[in-house]
Structure 1
């Protein structure tokens, strides 16, 4: 593919007299309110990191299954395991990923841990 000689940032010399793509891009940004307005549209780094953890947690079919079985009622780990039919260590890993992403929470009741969806988890298991 032959280069046009124009970069998106306006470096390089255009081969013809047409407006550089960067000029059009800058006009668009200015029309929207400038770079400051554009930067306000991007969440803070901590929120982006939290979103990334949630999307990672949602990317696995086993974890999605866990979310859906917790959708209607909290369940103890033994019921989740009976339904999932996976090893204890594998289930523990997936529950940890879901907890760290803020999608589920576990409450100790005697010898049992009862898992339920958080408000955030409810949004994704609707």
Structure 2
């Protein structure tokens, strides 16, 4: 409902339930960015729950503070939070050993591989 009427954002009873960083970011958004962002947050909340949508919105703002979150980005981030995949991905990062071997010709221990 908020996405359809973004002008009511500042008076909505749900506003205090948003984390401070998300609330401040939405407060500073222009009308179109506010509408699009609220729509993306609603889709993420529908897919993974309100708390996970809020975590995803905070992450999105931290990663790209000048861009409005895309629907698919927030839904994906929210689902990763719901499934517990977000913290693991942050801690581990991608496994690039295959690329290292291809580019440098070395194995996992840094030893040169024979071809």
Q: With structure 1 as the length reference, what TM-score do the two structures score?
A: 0.26
- The structure in which a higher percent of residues are helix is 2
Q: Which has the larger radius of gyration?
A: 1
- The structure in which a higher percent of residues are strand is 1
